Amino acid sequence: MSPAAAERIYRLLLRAYPPDFRAEYGREMVLLFRDQCQESDLRTIGFWAAVICDVARSAPALRAEAWRSRGSQSTQTTEVIMKLAAMLTVLLGVLGILNAVVEWVAGSTGTIQGMHALSLGLGVFASALLLTAGIALLRPTQGGRQAARLALFASLVMIVAARLLFPWMSVFSQLVGIGLPIALLIALYWPRKSSPVGAA
Q: Which pLDDT belongs to residue 28? A: 92
Q: Has residue 57 got a pLDDT over 80?
A: yes
What residues does each domain of the chain span?
3-68, 72-189
Please say whether the beta carbons of 199 and 73 come within 8 A. Answer: no
Q: Has residue 174 got a pLDDT over 70?
A: yes
Q: What is the CA radius of gyration of the chain?
A: 30
Q: Which pLDDT belongs to residue 196? A: 44
The band of 200, judged by pLDDT with boundaries at 50, 70 and 90, is very low
- Each residue of 7-34: pLDDT tens digit? 888 888 888 888 888 898 889 999 998 8
> What's the distance, Cα to Cα, between the start and end of the chain in Å?
45
Q: DSSP assignment of 130-164, as one string?
A: HHHHHHHHTS-SHHHHHHHHHHHHHHHHHHHHHHH
Q: Which pLDDT belongs to residue 194? A: 46
Mean pLDDT to the nearest integer, 174-179: 82
Rounded Cα distance between 112 and 120, Å, is 10
Helix (H) or strand (E) holding 127, with range, is helix 114-137
Rounded Cα distance between 76 and 195, Å, is 9
Mean pLDDT to the nearest integer, 187-199: 56
Q: Has residue 180 got a pLDDT over 50?
A: yes
Mean pLDDT to the nearest integer, 87-93: 81
pTM for the full model? 0.52
Query: How many C-beta neighbours within 10 Å does residue 175 have?
Result: 11
- Each residue of 105-160: pLDDT tens digit? 776 666 567 777 788 888 888 888 888 888 888 776 778 888 888 988 998 898 88
Phi, psi of 18 (to 5 degrees): -60, 150
